[in-house]
Structure 1
Amino acid sequence: MTVAPDLSALLASRICHDLISPLGAIGNGLELMRMAGTTRGPEADLIAESVLSASARIRFFRVAFGAAALGQRMGRPEILSILADMTAGSRLRIDWQPMGDLPRHEVRLAFLLLQCLETAMPYGGAITVTCEGGMWEMTGLAPRLRIETDLWDGLEDPSLAPPPAAAQVHFALVPPELRAQGRSLRVETTETRIRLRY
């Protein structure tokens, strides 16, 4: 039986692949200009920071939205590198505790849920990620959370989910990914904490 390809995931992979190379070239070019002494100052620093931020986001999006081949795995150093680069200079901290290599599709789901937590933590905070015996848990702590109840209810019961805006597409991608992995999600929220278990 032939499985239909996930065209949206393949498209995301292609876009991320095609964008990461020119961003890298910009960063390398800026570094060469600095070595030659032809560019200095806050303008160059701003360009460098923007390139690093864009590259980090694209690497993250490639995992969260891109295709994951059957049996493909991701190493812990790569995961930590992506998360460290993505949160550099921000008020968000992510403590990724799972050890060793992990199936890429499991990391994909974790990254989608990290985006959901990030959406609820616009003022920063701390997220802890654990995985023991195949059971994942994520806890987001922040002095102030912005929880859009309908979006979070839709993660547990997709029939309650509103049509997503572009900035909320990660919420819409979580339920089908949970189904594909044979998992169900439990969400617990308080004024300062969100806990996800699946």
Structure 2
Amino acid sequence: MPRSDLEFANLIGSRICHDLISPIGAINNGLELLSMSGTASGPEMDLIGDSVGSASARIRFFRIAFGASGEQMVGSGEISSILRDLYLDSRASATWGISEPQRRSDVRLAFLALMCLETGMPYGGNVLAERDGEKWVIRGTADKLIIDPDIWALLATQDPKLKLKPAHVQFGLLPAIASDNGLQITSKATETEIVISF
């Protein structure tokens, strides 16, 4: 039995992603078979294919960000593939600037940090994930940022009085999971850059 609400949330995230990835993969396989047989083509099929690809990328990303994490390693190729597919045809981009495999628990924190940065970059921009020795640095740059100071303050304070919207759940999870791992989240912002470190 999990010991905390956070562990329950992790298991729920893993279960949902696990159960959704199979039917989405089956739809994608069906589209490939239709394409090879020549029985279906056109903008409608392209739209379905793009949508299935987007859903698959999001589930792969969410599986790490919101699912149960262990100490198994995740290769840079897999992470870069997830990020490439996630931001395909988007105004934003993300670069995984780390060549060595990383612990899944660390990648999870980096993905949650990336989601926080996305919130401050609604018009697009670029995100770079790096390591500086033992320290992780997730940096977002954009021409225009929108920073809600109350939400961003959660990364340092974990203020339980602030009611989060579903779109901001990462601001509650990131500091809670970091704290469980003995880490402290720090963030800073300028007019064109946001940096999250842990």
TM class by smaller structure: over 0.9
* Counterpart residue identity of residue 98, structure 2: P
Query: In the alignment, what sits opposite 2:13?
Result: 12
Point out the more displaced range, 95-104 or 48-57: 95-104
> What is the root-mean-square deviation in Å for CA atoms of aligned residues?
1.5
Contact 2:158 2:176 in 1 (8 A): no
Query: In the alignment, what sits opposite 1:159?
Result: 159
Give how far 1:159 is off.
2.1
Correspondence 1:178 to 2:174: no
Q: TM-score by structure 1 length?
A: 0.94
Following the alignment from structure 2 to structure 1, what is the Cα–Cα distance between the partners of residues 10 and 197?
Answer: 25
* Counterpart residue identity of residue 125, structure 1: G
Task: Give % identity.
Answer: 46
Q: Closer, same or farther in 2 for the Cα pair 1:8/1:49, shift >3 Å?
A: same
Query: In the alignment, what sits opposite 1:76?
Result: 76
Point out the more displaced range, 32-41 or 13-22: 32-41
Give how far 1:161 is off.
6.4
* Counterpart residue identity of residue 4, structure 1: R
Q: Secondary structure at the match of 1:184?
A: coil
Correspondence 1:63 to 2:54: no
Following the alignment from structure 2 to structure 1, what is the Cα–Cα distance between the partners of residues 73 and 161?
Answer: 31
Query: In the alignment, what sits opposite 1:132?
Result: 132
Contact 1:150 1:160 in 2 (8 A): no
Following the alignment from structure 1 to structure 2, what is the Cα–Cα distance between the partners of residues 47 and 148?
Answer: 35
Following the alignment from structure 1 to structure 2, what is the Cα–Cα distance between the partners of residues 100 and 187?
Answer: 25
Consecutive unaligned residues of structure 1, counting only runs of 5 or more, are: none
Following the alignment from structure 1 to structure 2, what is the Cα–Cα distance between the partners of residues 158 and 12?
Answer: 21
* Counterpart residue identity of residue 37, structure 1: G
Give how far 1:194 is off.
0.5
Q: Closer, same or farther in 2 for the Cα pair 1:42/1:193, shift >3 Å?
A: same
* Counterpart residue identity of residue 43, structure 1: E
Consecutive unaligned residues of structure 2, counting only runs of 5 or more, are: none
